[in-house]
Chain A
Amino acid sequence: MRLIPLCDMKKGEEAVIKKLETKGDLRQRLMDIGFVEGTKVKCVRISPLGDPKAYLVRGAVIALRKEDAATVLGVEEL
């Protein structure tokens, strides 16, 4: 099982969150909007400048910067 950070996802790819390494306020914020272990995410938009990327999480589209998305680790769905 290979862990991939969300920031490495390509548009259209899906993953399931396995581990949240985020620290501080952002960790709480991410959990509050539904980024918890076992949650399905899909990378749905990429900014024209390459960063941030936006992810579909529990019905909402949320954009995260690269450094922040790097702290959320997922696995490809089987």
Chain B
Amino acid sequence: MIIGKIALAGNPNVGKSTVFNALTGMKQHTGNWSGKTVGIAEGTFRRRGKEIKLIDLPGTYSLTTDSAEEEVTRDFLCFEKFDGAVVVCDACCLERNLIFAIQVAQLVPKTILCVNMMDDARRKGIEIDIEALSRETGLPAVGISAANYEGLDALEEMIIDMLEEKMSTEFIPVRYPRAIEAAAKELLPVMKEQYGFGGIYPALRLLENEHGFVSAVENRFGKFGANEKMSTTLEKAERIMTENGIKEKMVGDKIAACSVLRAEEICLSTVKMSTEKALSRDKKIDSVLTGKWLGIPVMLLLFGFVFWLTVSGANYPSAMLSEASEVIGGWLEKGLSAIVCPPVLKELLIDGIWKVLGWVVAVMLPPMAIFFPLFTILEDTGYLPRVAFNLDKGFKSAGACGKQALTMCMGLGCGAVGVTGARIIDSPRERLIAIITNSFIPCNGRLPAIIALITMFFTDSSVLGAAMLTGVIALSVLMTLGVSKLLSKTVLKGVPASFTLELPPYRMPKIGRVVVRSVFDRTLKILGRAVLVAVPAGVVIWLCSNFLIEGETLLQKAAGFLDPFAGFFGLDGNVLCGFILSIPANEIALPIMAMGYSGGELAQLGSMAETAALFAANGFTAVTALCTIVFFLFHWPCATTVITIWKETKSIKWVFLSAAVPLLTGLGLCFGINIVSKLFF
């Protein structure tokens, strides 16, 4: 039986999700930057035979501003029915965290202060006196290290004691100017009586006439003007304030100042540390990672290293997986023959569905299984906000948000991840820019094909190849910025929104958990979606390569039909067919092109030299190769990404633009390359 419902709240980056996971055992992804949890996760834990429900609210800095996450948290805490709150604070930055905790304590009568990452703080020479914290605030307080499962028992006990009212949870109130307190005193009982929610914090926000909160209340309960008791009380409260020389405009500032000073006061008697000493390690790391000369080169090296590991490390397991899929395919074939399956159906199942499926898994799984854990480690250390910090100026001049640098990094792994990741961008306009331009960045599915084309047609020296690949990525970054700018001058008009970016303390990632989490949360999720689209794609591809019209396969027919059109853009019909058929997953584009040229069925690519010769024999020149590379960078997002864009934006318009913008860019660039090459060669 569930005996109570507890909300988990706190600033971003305080390990709130780690606490939630540790208590409930539910696996939810946690990352070291602002705003990872959007939407509300729920879970339960059991202790002493009692079951308690936990609600993990999005991390926020306050209950006032109108970002989507803060609204979710504020509305939940103000208007939902629940029995108490746990505010998770970061021990390394208690003072700032307490500002939010004080807001919650002034709203939720039963609040526990849970100071997380005590181990990190100890290591940095920060001492926190939990007893004093409890004494100074009047609230129950507990110190834990959720990542090491320390102190969780005490927290669970405390939650139960609080629910059973075995301990005092009387918050020692913040002192506000006397007139404000008197006005709030008028308002509080009426608020409670008319709307059913209490707390000094919402009363103050109404006195301030804070537009976000006022409209949230009016949306739920109707206009204040229509409620006579409420409007006369508000007028009276306002009169009390004006008589004492306090204007509505000043209320917000006064509330903030009083809460901030209260947090400072509490910390004076609870926290012992030398800030300089606590931050000196981060300062040293940052002098390299965000340093004037080193910051950007080190960032490039770091990402280069991650790619190199991904691409080179994936080769061997990829080969093994595709061998395994061939062997299993052989068994399946025998099995199907044994049960007297019609040959056409057998071919469709084996040569169509199974081969494409095997292909997608073999090509996608290994790079993802390497890239995502590496990326999650970078994420957990707190490095990613530094990337945004380093590159923000470039994005600002493109009318976009520095955090887009992060969604681009995620896009290097997988477009769908990049699109979901765009949630970290607060401004809706800037988030859409990041989503629409996300497919400009070559993902794990396209990079190997681009590398193969470079090696086959331009250079076999690894140094020159790497240089050319860097050039290719630089082109996609430049186009991202250019098109972002174009979008922010046209369909997504607006000025860059102001932003505050927290650079959290560096933390040691917990490697074991990182691997488990990134494999389960990201890799398998994306692979699952890819498998879903691969099955119908397998059918279509099989039909295209086996259905004969006038002695030609459907694929060859289609290629012939598209040829004149593709010729304008320096491509040929077969290449274009490859792109169209690889909508389910970009990984299969190159093999389909090879299949089209050879007239055969989907098979493993032979050696690089053989494939290059096959392509060349079909009139594939260096110019075609260049145009194909460019088109690989800019065409349309794969089916998985399109589904994700729909899920994130719920709008046909933005899904359409996300496909049209890269396509037009690609066609334009290829057309240009084709014209120039015709003029000069």
Please list the residues of chain A having a beta carbon within 8 angstroms of any beta carbon in chain B.
20, 25-26, 28-34, 36-39, 44-52, 54, 56-65, 67-68
Contacts and interface: CB of A to CB of B under 8 A. Distances in A.
Interface in B244-268: 252-253, 256-257, 260-261, 263-264
Nearest to B264: A58
A46 B287 CA distance: 10
B462 interface: no
A56 B279 contact: yes
Contacts of B253: 20, 31, 36
Interface string B292-334: 1101100000000000000000000000000000000000000
A52 B393 CA distance: 7
A28 B252 contact: yes
Given A29-B61, A45-B503, A63-B501, A51 B93 contact: no
Contacts of A52: 389, 392-393, 402, 501
Interface string B91-103: 0111110011000
Contacts of A49: 390-394
B65 interface: yes
A60 B96 contact: yes
B259 to A, nearest CB: 9
B568 interface: no
B73 interface: no
A35 B188 CA distance: 28
Nearest to B388: A63
A28 B496 CA distance: 18
A64 to B, nearest CB: 6
B176 to A, nearest CB: 14
A65 B65 CA distance: 19
Contact of A29 (B93, B394, B500): B500
Interface centre among B252, B283, B389, B396 (most CB of A within 10 A): B389
Contacts of B99: 32-34, 58
Interface string B45-60: 0000000000000000
Interface in B393-429: 393-394, 396, 402
Contact of B501 (A26, A59, A62, A67): A62
Contacts of B295: 47-48
Contact of A60 (B291, B389, B502): B502
A63 to B, nearest CB: 4
12 contacts: A25-B66, A33-B96, A36-B260, A38-B261, A45-B389, A47-B392, A51-B393, A54-B501, A59-B92, A59-B275, A63-B500, A63-B503
Contact of B256 (A32, A59, A64): A32
Nearest 4 CB-CB pairings of A with B: A32-B62, A31-B256, A48-B295, A49-B393
Nearest to B287: A45
Contacts of A45: 286, 290, 389, 503
Contacts of A57: 96
A59 B93 contact: yes
Main secondary structure of the interface of A (DSSP, over half): mixed
A48 B391 CA distance: 8
Nearest to A48: B295
Contact of A59 (B96, B393, B503): B96
A63 B389 contact: yes
B169 interface: no
Nearest to A71: B498
Given A51-B392, A51-B393, A59-B275, A33 B252 contact: no
Given A51-B392, A52-B501, A67-B498, A34 B65 contact: no
B381 interface: no
Interface centre among A30, A60, A65 (most CB of B within 10 A): A60
Interface residues of B, number: 49
Given A32-B100, A33-B62, 11 more contacts: A29-B61, A31-B256, A32-B61, A32-B64, A47-B390, A47-B392, A50-B393, A52-B389, A57-B96, A58-B264, A63-B501
Main secondary structure of the interface of B (DSSP, over half): helix
B680 to A, nearest CB: 36
B646 interface: no
A28 B389 CA distance: 22
A56 B559 CA distance: 61
A29 B11 CA distance: 12
A57 B99 CA distance: 13
Nearest to B292: A48
B449 to A, nearest CB: 33
Contacts of A50: 393
B304 to A, nearest CB: 17
B392 A65 contact: yes
Nearest to A42: B275
Interface in B360-408: 389-394, 396, 402
A43 B72 CA distance: 33
B19 to A, nearest CB: 19
A26 B498 contact: yes
Contacts of A25: 65-66, 498
B547 interface: no
Contacts of A32: 61-62, 64-65, 99-100, 256
B2 to A, nearest CB: 33
Contact of A46 (B257, B279, B292, B394): B292
Nearest to A54: B503
B254 to A, nearest CB: 10
B499 interface: yes
Contacts of A60: 93, 96, 502
Interface string B272-290: 0001001100110010001
Contacts of A51: 392-393, 396
Contacts of B210: 28
A29 B292 contact: no
A52 B94 CA distance: 25
A61 B500 contact: no
A54 B498 contact: no
Nearest to A63: B501
A31 B396 CA distance: 23
A21 to B, nearest CB: 12
Given A52-B392, A58-B264, A36 B290 contact: no
Nearest to A22: B498
Contact of A30 (B261, B393, B500, B503): B500
A28 B95 CA distance: 18
A9 to B, nearest CB: 16
Contacts of B95: 34, 58-59
Interface in B60-102: 61-62, 64-66, 92-96, 99-100
A31 B402 CA distance: 22
Nearest to A25: B65
